[in-house]
Amino acid sequence: MTSNNKDVDTMLDLLFIQENGEVYRNPTEVQMSQIVLPCHANHCGELSAGQLLKWMDSTACLSGRKNTLYIVDPVHIYNFQLSIGVVGKVVNIIAKVNRAFTSSMEVGILVTCEDLYTGRQWKVCHAFATFVARRTEAGKVQLKQVIPRTQIEQMEYSLAAERRRMRLIHAEIITDLLSSSTAQLGECQEYEDAVSAERTRVESVELVLPPHANHQVSTFGGQIMAWMENVATIAASRLCNAHPTLRTIDMFHFRGPSHIGDRLVLKAIVNNAFKHSMEVGVCAEAYQGGEPLRHINSAFMTFEVLDSDRKPRTLPRIRPEPVDGKRRYQEAIARKKIRLDRKYIISCKQTEVPLSVPWDPSNQMYLSYNNVSALKLMDTRTNWVLASEKNKVRLYTLEENHMLFFKVEMNVSVPAEQTFHLLSDLRRRKEWDRHYEECEVINQADEDDTLYRVATPSVTKGGKGQDFILLASRRKPCDARDPYLIALRSVTLPTHPPTDDYSRGEVLCAGFSIWEESSTVTKITYYNQATPGVLPYISTDIVGLSSAFYSSFSACSQFLEGLTAGHKKSHERKE
């Protein structure tokens, strides 16, 4: 069997990893394989997105149930991007719990399509689902923790905390973007040939019957998502008078359960139409008898319309209804901007120059996520080679894809939280690192993200020094199994262009991972993914751990321990 997608190989490889002489398989992993039959297909003979969502929800829910005795309800499904298979192909779904928090867990879902005649497999979509354990009469929920066993599992475990953070602040990012970037998003424009948004409005009702519910009489999340996809498709069709194709779903947000006997009112409307895509907003409300409507779910779906050559067609413009319609119109623009920023930031090629990405408040969330994720990925690598060790300062290197990675490890007799606070302020780094000649704060974006300009001296006599515009992203541990992190990467700022006095340098990924070994001992690991521009600064230091590396990190240890000792003496005098 062959595969043309790295994600396919990554997930499938989990089945065959050897540990202690036995074949290792993740205990929460669940697989489902389905042949796409005509009853599962749409008018094009392709698998219906709604049907796929039902299968994905079932697989993810079963994976979540493997990790807990509690009933788990879906809360979010996000990062859902489609490329659906056709009738006669096999859809393979693999789901496993990436991480469990106190009462919620993230389940990773990979969907591939398989041609039985050729053995070829390709990726259909990769999504993440969040499930929350339902409280029982016993009281507080405490989920069983997931123990990552492989490098891939460690990576997903670590990134799950960062994805959770992004998910929790997503609504705030939309609000901030709407309030601070009205000029950037643009006002609602009037077009003579625009289609009234009211024409695309769809409302449908479904009765929840026993086949639609689980053994706890709650409606299957996948069934609700399938109904929502159906009305969204109808709304999109009314704009373009054609059959649309679902491409992405920003997020399904489950706000509450529904049960057998409930009536589900499903509403959809086109929020905005761009050149080749449109956003449809969908909500589901439930009621029973004379009860008021309960808002149980919402989602935003992006559709395209393909021509005979499978290329996106140009779509009609939309004319939003007053007040709420204009609000939804603007929010759709904000979501599209965030989506494109995310795609651009995450897809940047490491070999391209410049490596840095323009920073602005609207893309801060994904730049910060990408910054921390890159550092976490280095932190989970297991193929480091110990180059040298001197006075308990260890230097490791790794060469991969024509890139040089290195890390320096040491222990200090300083509490982890204090180490984190002292190393977080890059302005203090010049007190121990000779490569930091100048450092100034450009912008304190928020509590976790700061923009700095750093200047370093020339490595050759009479040559220019380098300066860097760095985004420093700090993260405190999500729990005791996480380190403190300080991630660094270059960004571009129009207010700070390159100057004649310095050569503008680029940092692709660098930073500190800070682990608490005990209440008084901390392990510090410094990482750097060396780009050609900074290699002259470090290449001579890597061979044999020269005095430059040793002196820098020895000075760092003295800096941290000296300040800590001074703080203790000052505190004792006050007492």
197-210 pLDDT, tens digit per residue, is: 999 999 999 999 99
- Tell whether the torsion through CA atoms of 61, 67, 70 and 73 is positive or negative: negative
The pair of three-digit structure tokens given for residue 13, joined into one six-digit string? 């490889």
8 A C-beta contact, residue 499 and residue 511: no
pLDDT for 552: 85
Nearest to 419 by CA among 474, 463, 364, 378: 474
Question: What's the pLDDT tens digit per position in 143-175?
Answer: 888 888 888 888 889 888 888 888 877 777 777
The pair of three-digit structure tokens given for residue 19, joined into one six-digit string? 């540990």
Angle at 362 between CA 358 and CA 365, to 5 degrees: 90
Name 398's bridge partners. Answer: 405
Q: How far apart are CA 180 and CA 160, in angstroms?
A: 29
8 A C-beta contact, residue 381 and residue 527: no
- Tell whether the torsion through CA atoms of 459, 464, 470 and 476 is positive or negative: positive
Give the 3-state secondary structure of residue 422.
helix
259 CA to centre of own chain: 32
* H-helix segments, 388-530: 416-424
Amino acid letter for position 524:
I
Report DSSP state, residue 41.
Answer: B
Strands, E, within 57-194: which ranges?
72-81, 90-100, 104-114, 120-133
The pair of three-digit structure tokens given for residue 62, joined into one six-digit string? 């079963």
Show pLDDT as tens, one digit a residue, over the chain (575 residues).
Answer: 333 444 444 444 444 445 556 677 888 999 999 999 999 988 778 888 889 888 998 898 888 888 765 555 555 565 555 666 688 899 999 999 999 888 888 999 999 999 988 889 888 888 888 888 776 655 667 788 888 888 888 888 988 888 888 887 777 777 777 776 544 555 556 667 889 999 999 999 999 999 998 877 888 888 999 999 999 999 999 999 888 988 888 778 888 889 999 999 999 999 999 999 999 999 999 999 888 999 999 999 999 998 888 888 999 999 998 889 998 998 898 888 877 776 666 555 544 545 678 888 778 888 898 899 889 988 888 889 888 888 888 888 888 776 778 889 999 999 999 999 999 999 999 899 888 889 999 999 989 999 999 998 887 777 888 899 999 999 999 888 899 999 999 999 999 999 999 998 888 889 999 999 999 999 999 998 876 554 544 554 544 445 567 788 889 999 998 887 655 555 455 55
Nearest to 529 by CA among 363, 359, 370: 370
pLDDT for 291: 87
Topology of 1-153 in CATH? Thiol Ester Dehydrase; Chain A (3.10.129)
What is the value of pTM for the model shown?
0.80
- Domain range 181-347, its CATH number among 3.40.50.300, 3.40.50.1820, 3.40.640.10, 3.10.129.10: 3.10.129.10
Matching CATH topology for 1-153 and 181-347? yes
pLDDT for 569: 57
pLDDT for 20: 56
Superfamily of domain covering 357-574: START domain (3.30.530.20)
The b/e string for 545-570 (b: 16+ C-beta within 10 A; e otherwise) is beeebbebbbebbebbeeebeeeeee
8 A C-beta contact, residue 382 and residue 151: yes
The pair of three-digit structure tokens given for residue 50, joined into one six-digit string? 């709604």
Contacts of 429 (CB under 8 A, 6+ apart): 423, 436, 439
For the chain, domain boundaries: 1-153, 181-347, 357-574
Give the 3-state secondary structure of residue 146.
coil
175-180 long-range CB contacts below 8 Å, 24 or more apart?
176/361, 177/334, 177/337, 177/338, 177/361, 177/362, 178/330, 178/331, 178/334, 180/361
* Phi then psi dihedrals of residue 385, to 5 deg: -115, 125
Q: How far apart are CA 202 and CA 54, in angstroms?
A: 22
pLDDT for 145: 85
